[in-house]
Amino acid sequence: DLKGRKAVITGSTSGIGLAFAEGLAKMGVDITLNGFGDQGEIEDNRARIAGETGVDVRYDGADMTKPQEIRDLIKGAEAAHGRVDILVNNAGIQKVAPIDEYDDEVWDRIIAINLTSNYHTIKAALPGMKERKFGRIVNIASAHGLVASPFKSAYNAAKHGVVGLTKTVALEAAEFGVTCNAICPGFTLTPLLEAQMADNAKARGITEEEAKAKLLNDAHATKEFVTYDNLVGMLAYLCSDAGSGATGYPYAVDAGWTAH
Ligand code: NAD
């Protein structure tokens, strides 16, 4: 029942966001891609997804640290596709370092991209959703929106903030046919995680292979990474008509991590 819906997915030029774009496009959803990267590669992905699925796929390079660009991203999607039914706040960055050595600018940047951008996209997209009495807002938090790990002060703070924002928006939008939920993924092998593994190994004085093994062993009850399919399935449910009764909740897809 997602066919014909219109989605904006922030940070969808890589990793989980790109998998979300591919997954929703396969279900017949028109897509606005967003994110940084090599322009040729982005265009290749855009054309490939459109070609494989037959939906309209457009790209907007809005920077999630810039409120005006975020407002223009939503306006542009509404103009091109007529409306935004599904908003997926997925753009995110990570920096692993002890708090007493943490870089102030990195702190501000992580809060801006991982938390404040969600406020700006929601503020821009919600009025239209309420007017049309349909909307699905899905914020990609993290298991780190529910529990913490050391050396991730800014990330943990931002992701816990996303969960709080999610609950508030859910309450404000509930009577307008608009749901707002968070997905809290466990570790998923994406470019972001690969980079983090290197930093993590350095902070702990171990090799990257040791860091990966330790990560799965300590965190994931399954001892497996979370897959893109695991996350796309949850997103599809939350965006579906069946998802209308589910709002205001941080859904863990974390291989059993937060059950510990
Ligand atoms: P990724 O690095 O592969 O992708 C991040 C995306 O965000 C890219 O498209 C990038 O271009 C975009 N982005 C970064 N800064 C931006 C900015 N200023 N403006 C616009 N776009 C920007 O990372 P990923 O692992 O796929 O992460 C996606 C989301 O999932 C993030 O919010 C991350 O915190 C969350 N998450 C990831 C994991 C994991 O294990 N990979 C676990 C839990 C949560």
Distance 93 CA to ligand 1 centre (A): 5
User: In this structure, what DSSP letter does residue 112 have?
Assistant: I
Residue 6 CA to ligand 1 center (angstroms) comes to 21
Radius of gyration of the chain (CA): 18
User: By alpha-carbon position, which residue is closest to atom 33 of ligand 1?
Assistant: 92
Q: How far apart are CA 52 and CA 71, in angstroms?
A: 30
Pocket test for ligand 1, best of 192, 196, 216, 235 (most atoms within 8 A of CB): 192
Confidence (pTM) = 0.97
**What's the gap in Å between 51 CA and the centre of ligand 1?**
25
Give distance in angstroms: CA of 12 to centre of ligand 1: 8
Query: Which ipTM did the prediction report?
Result: 0.99
Residue nearest to atom 41 of ligand 1 (CA): 188
Atom number, ligand 1, closest to the C-alpha of residue 109: 18
From residue 76, how far is each of 38, 79, 124, 237 by CA, in Å?
Answer: 22, 5, 11, 26
| Structural domains present in the chain | 6-187+227-254 (3.40.50.720)
Atom in ligand 1 nearest the alpha carbon of residue 64 = 19
Q: What angle do CA 3, 170, 145 make, to 5 degrees?
A: 100
- Residue 131 Cα to ligand 1 midpoint, Å, equals 30
Confidence of residue 9 (pLDDT cuts 50, 70, 90): very high
Kindly give the number of the ligand 1 atom that is closest to the alpha carbon of 65: 18
Atom of ligand 1 nearest to the CA of 192: 2
Ligand 1, CB cutoff 6 Å, lining residues:
10-17, 34-37, 63-65, 90-93, 113-114, 140, 142, 185, 187-188, 190-193
* Confidence bin at 182 (pLDDT 50/70/90): very high
Ligand 1 mutation pick, 8, 16, 228, max ligand atoms within 8 A of CB: 16
Contact 63, 69 (CB under 8 A): yes
Q: List active site positions.
A: 155
| Pure H helices in 205-240 | 208-219, 228-239
Residue pLDDT, tens place only, 132-157: 999 999 999 999 999 999 999 999 99
Q: What is the pLDDT of residues 187-241, one digit of tens each?
A: 999 998 988 888 889 888 999 989 889 989 999 999 999 999 999 999 999 999 9
Task: Report the pLDDT value the prediction gives residue 198, as an integer from 0 to 100.
Answer: 87
Place of tokens 């939350």: 238
